[in-house]
Amino acid sequence: MVFRDWSDKDFISLIYDMVDTADAIVHYNGKSFDMKHLNREFLLAKLDPPSPYKNIDLLSTMRQNFKFASNKLEWTSIQLGYEGKVQNRGMQLWLDCMAGDTSAWREMKKYNIQDVRLLEDMYDALLPWIKNHPNWGL
C-alpha cells in the first residue's frame, strides 16, 4: 500500500482501523510525534478516539534506562550493532514523492522498510528493559 494509491479519507480510515484494533503499538518517538499527527487526522476525519492500546515507545525506554551520546534511532541502532538508517534526501524526498516521482517513491519504500527492520531489531534488543510491557500470553 502506498499513500498515492489512496484518497486521504481511505488512507486515514485504514490506519484508524489498524490503530483501533491494536493491543499495542511499538514505535520510536511515536507517542510524542507520530500518534499526535495521526490523532489530528482522526479528529479531522470526524472519527472517535481509537480504542485504548499500549504504547511501547522505544525512545522512552532508551531515555529511562541508558545514557547514550544521542538517543536518535540512527545512533542507538548503530551502537547496538545494527545497520542504521538508510540515508535519504530529507525533505526533498518527501516533496518529490508528493509530486509523484516514481524513483522518489522507490527510495522512500527502501527507507521505510529499513526503518521497520531497525524498529524490530531495537524492540528485540530492548524487550528485557521495557517497563510494564504487555503480557502477550493473555
Fold of 3-129: Nucleotidyltransferase; domain 5 (3.30.420)
pTM of the model: 0.83
What is the pLDDT at residue 49?
Answer: 97
What is the pLDDT at residue 1?
Answer: 45
What residue segments make up the domains of the chain, in order of their start? 3-129
Entry field: residues in the chain: 138
Q: How many CA atoms lie within 13 A of 109 on its CB side?
A: 10
What is the pLDDT at residue 10?
Answer: 84
In the structure, how many helices (H) and strands (E) does the chain have?
Answer: 6, 2
Per-block mean pLDDT, blocks of 10 residues, the chain (138 long): 62 94 94 92 95 95 96 94 87 90 93 93 96 82
Sequence-separated contacts (24+) of 40-44 with Cβ below 8 Å? 41/12, 41/15, 42/12, 42/16
